[in-house]
Amino acid sequence: MKKHIQILALATLLAGARQLSAETVTLVVNAQNPTQHLSIASNQVAELVSFQAHTSMNLRVQKDGGVFYYDPLFRQPGFFLGSELPHMLWPLQIAGPATFSFAGQTNSDGRFLDGYCTFKITPESTPPDKTIILLAGSKGANIYLEMSTNLFDWSTISPGTYSSETNNLFFRIRAEKLP
């Protein structure tokens, strides 16, 4: 039984590690697929790592109610519509939620102009104020998992499976430095 629990714990750890890795997504536009879209969640960051397109093509970014056009020719932001985003230079990095739209165009001869852009999508790192770090050489700390139903009264609990049909449950991890 103990071996099965260890294998399950290892599988869970590996699945979690896989979710933390970067993913590469390439949007390709051509006559068959003239427009491509990519949406990222609030816990993701997208970095534009390559952009191969005709100079008249651009990348449309929707974020925080604003629309931003990325100009590949100068590798810097173009013009803004709606609320302005901060001025960003290459590489273009956007934290989610956001939606990217990439559209091909036809030239003056009526020929479709193909293009592609590639993004590296990574999970957003944990903010420093939400992380417990024990430095090498420190005296250490007692780490507690706590639960509350009202965010005021906290009880120390053990890791496990929790559910409730009557109350919301809130969890936190607390560190208490050793003297």
The domain segmentation of the chain, as residue ranges, is 21-123, 128-177
CA dist 141 and 155 (Å) reads: 18
CA dist 173 and 143 (Å) reads: 7
**Contact call for residues 117 and 46 (beta carbons, < 8 A):** no
The two three-digit tokens of residue 31, written as one number: 């006559």
One-letter amino acid at 57 equals M
More confident position, 152 or 148: 148
CA dist 24 and 83 (Å) reads: 28
Report the pLDDT value the prediction gives residue 42, as an integer from 0 to 100: 83
Report the pLDDT value the prediction gives residue 4, as an integer from 0 to 100: 41
Report the pLDDT value the prediction gives residue 12, as an integer from 0 to 100: 42
Q: Per residue in 114-147, pLDDT tens?
A: 888 899 998 876 655 567 778 888 888 888 899 9
CA-based max dimension of the chain: 77
* Residue range 92-118: mean pLDDT, rounded: 87
The two three-digit tokens of residue 56, written as one number: 């008249």
Q: Per residue in 4-22, pLDDT tens?
A: 444 444 444 444 444 457 8
Q: Is 94 exposed, middle or buried (0-12, 13-18, 19+ CB in 10 A)?
A: buried
Q: Write out the DSSP string of 72-108.
A: TTTTEEEEEESSPPPP--SSPEEESSEEEEEE-EE-T
In the chain, which residue ranges form alpha helices assigned H by DSSP? 2-19
The two three-digit tokens of residue 91, written as one number: 């590489």
Distance, CA of 91 to chain centre = 16
CATH 3.40.630.10 is held by the domain 21-123? no
Q: Per residue in 52-62, pLDDT tens?
A: 877 667 789 99
CA dist 46 and 42 (Å) reads: 11
Tokens 């399950």 correspond to what residue?
A: 8
